[in-house]
Structure 1
């Protein structure tokens, strides 16, 4: 047997044609990102629609605006109801119990100097959820 006959058939070497690399166009990608950006800007809401109604206490010569009202002090060391330290849950429970007897009970909230705004808003929100309809925010000068 001849050695040429037992060798497998090999095709002749073809000349390699250089392949062009596929170029990815950035224009469609930018269009998609832009459309997604517009969609999420229009679909999302950045405003919180919850609102807390506050009343401005009336300034009278006799000072009767605070008479009979519950005074809630928001301090850096905690919350006080009529001078007594209470937790937020206890505050909500006591105010709700008071509202059962007098539904038009006035509640005055007095944040101390240096108290974080979020802490005062948390107290106001808890009182509003408890059912307080006459809620006033007072400063240091008003009592």
Structure 2
């Protein structure tokens, strides 16, 4: 008959190389992660706290492809000059309304553009 050697106890695999790999991946992703700076937009709500509206109308409708100031199409670059002609103070109310085809990013771009021009009375309505 055949003579087999006695069974040796099975050796357990070492987890050290796997832990090393996980640690290296963790360090890699921590070092390559890009941490962005949060930006804020000064915005009034369209409710009761928005203040009293006076002066000529300043309604900016935001669409996916363009802007309309008081119902007339206008380019984003020309919007600051057009709004300055309708305002006495940079804090006067400007009503922003997103169209059904405008996404949130487009609304934020317009708000940032107007905020950078010094307008502080931006009000977003639905």
Q: TM-score range by the shorter chain?
A: 0.5 to 0.7
Q: 1:137 to 1:39 in 2, by over 3 A?
A: same
Any idea what the Cα deviations from partners look like across 1:104-143, whole Å, max 9, x if unmatched? 221110001232111111111111111111111001xxxx
Partners of 2:93 and 2:31 in 1: CA distance? 41
- Could you tell me which of 71, 76, 91 is aligned with 1:83? 71
Unpaired runs of 5+ residues, structure 1, are 1-26
Contact kept, 8 Å, 1:106 with 1:135, in 2: the verdict is yes
Give the equivalent residue in structure 2 for 1:57. Answer: 46
Contact kept, 8 Å, 1:108 with 1:137, in 2: the verdict is yes
Is 1:123 paired with 2:117? no
Unpaired runs of 5+ residues, structure 2, are 1-15
Runs of 4 or more consecutive aligned structure 1 residues displaced over 2 Å after TM superposition: 27-48, 57-60, 64-69, 92-95, 97-101
Q: Which has the larger radius of gyration?
A: 1
Q: 1:78 to 1:29 in 2, by over 3 A?
A: same
Alpha-carbon shift at residue 67 of structure 1 (Å):
3.9
Contact kept, 8 Å, 2:90 with 2:121, in 1: the verdict is no
Alpha-carbon shift at residue 40 of structure 1 (Å):
4.2
Alpha-carbon shift at residue 51 of structure 1 (Å):
0.9
Instruction: Calculate the TM-score normalised by the size of structure 2.
Output: 0.65
Partners of 2:54 and 2:86 in 1: CA distance? 16
Contact kept, 8 Å, 2:59 with 2:70, in 1: the verdict is yes
Partners of 2:39 and 2:62 in 1: CA distance? 21
Aligned length: 111
Higher RCO structure (Cα 8 Å, ≥6 apart): 2
Partners of 1:83 and 1:76 in 2: CA distance? 15
Contact kept, 8 Å, 2:67 with 2:73, in 1: the verdict is yes
Any idea what the Cα deviations from partners look like across 1:38-94, whole Å, max 9, x if unmatched? 36426745444111111113449xxx8444352110123410112111111111333
